[in-house]
């Protein structure tokens, strides 16, 4: 029997919960980050809204709306699916890799105004990659801070869903060469590499389905 940690709270309909309900392994799902809304407003007309995550969607839409002609873009497929489930049309969806997504998005949004709802500690990857090729307007819609006094069972497989979660975990627990590590995307993968972590695997896409596929392959 294996113990698997994932750095997010899994919903009841998560593919992890459905799959592991019939497997002799235990999933430990726990977010290492606490979230808090930040008041904001924007007044400039924009061509696009680019969402990095579902959290960005939630915190943005709780406070405001946007004109129907505004186009929507996302960093990954999961956020696009989430927006579509809310009734929105997504005009561009990346595959989670910041560099590849930025280059593909540029074909649609070059020299256009793009609003980026994001966390206070956002790495602003798309804005930094594209630079002056688009007119970026970052807007902080929520704060993301480490949870203090975390208590996590020592697991065989660790699944990290953000770079910040990686940093929080290894600030509290030592590296363990026996553990296998899964990163949700390239940025998280590189954060692990920079810490000298070995046995890292990266999911094909930044979705729970892809993370699950990678996890199953390691069991």
Cβ atoms 210, 193 nearer than 8 A: no
For position 149, what pLDDT does the model report? 86
What's the pTM?
0.82
Least confident of 86-95, 136-145, 199-208: 199-208
Q: CB under 8 Å to 31, separation ≥6 — which residues?
A: 7, 8, 9, 147, 165
Question: Kind of pairing, strands 48-51 and 33-37?
Answer: unpaired
Burial of 36 (0-12, 13-18, 19+ CB in 10 A): exposed
Q: In this predicted model, what pLDDT tens digit does every residue of 32-71 receive, in sequence order?
A: 999 999 999 887 899 999 999 999 999 999 999 888 899 9
Q: How many domains does the chain have?
A: 2
Domain containing 11 equals 3-31+147-218
Domain C-terminal end among 145, 165, 182: 145
- DSSP class of 106: H
Q: In this predicted model, what pLDDT tens digit does every residue of 154-204 receive, in sequence order?
A: 999 999 999 999 999 999 999 999 999 999 988 899 999 999 999 999 998
DSSP string, 29-73: E---EEEEE------S--SEEEESSHHHHHHHHTT----TT-EEE
The mean per-residue pLDDT over the stretch 74-84 comes to 93
CATH number at residue 108: 3.40.50.10090
Alpha-carbon dihedral 46, 48, 50, 54, rounded to 10 degrees: 100
Q: In this predicted model, what pLDDT tens digit does every residue of 119-142 receive, in sequence order?
A: 998 889 999 999 999 999 999 999
Based on the domain organization, do 171 and 136 belong to the same domain?
no
Give the C-alpha separation, 92 to 108, whole Å: 8
For position 175, what pLDDT does the model report? 94
In a domain, 89, yes or no: yes
Q: Is the pLDDT of residue 109 over 90?
A: yes
Total residue count of the chain as it appears in this document? 219
For position 78, what pLDDT does the model report? 85
Based on the domain organization, do 107 and 179 belong to the same domain?
no
Based on the domain organization, do 78 and 106 belong to the same domain?
yes
């Amino acid at each position: 029997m294996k113990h698997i940690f994932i750095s997010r709270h899994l919903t009841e309909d998560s593919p992890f919960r459905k799959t592991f309900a019939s497997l002799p392994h235990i999933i430990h799902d726990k977010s290492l980050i606490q979230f808090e809304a930040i008041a904001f407003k924007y007044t400039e007309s924009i061509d696009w809204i680019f969402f990095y995550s579902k959290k960005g969607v939630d915190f943005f839409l709780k406070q405001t709306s946007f004109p129907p002609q505004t186009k929507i873009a996302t960093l990954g497929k999961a956020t696009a699916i989430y927006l579509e489930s809310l009734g929105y049309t997504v005009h561009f969806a990346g595959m989670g890799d910041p560099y590849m997504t930025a280059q593909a998005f540029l074909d649609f949004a070059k020299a256009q105004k793009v609003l980026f709802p994001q966390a206070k500690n956002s790495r602003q990857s798309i804005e930094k990659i594209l630079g002056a090729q688009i007119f970026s307007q970052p807007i902080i819609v929520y704060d993301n801070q480490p949870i203090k006094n975390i208590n996590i069972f020592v697991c065989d497989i660790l699944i990290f869903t953000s770079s910040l979660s990686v940093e929080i975990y290894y600030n509290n627990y030592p590296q363990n060469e026996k553990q296998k590590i899964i990163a949700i995307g390239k940025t998280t993968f590189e954060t692990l590499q920079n810490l000298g972590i070995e046995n890292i695997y990266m999911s094909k896409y930044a979705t729970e389905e892809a993370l699950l596929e990678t996890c199953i392959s390691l069991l």
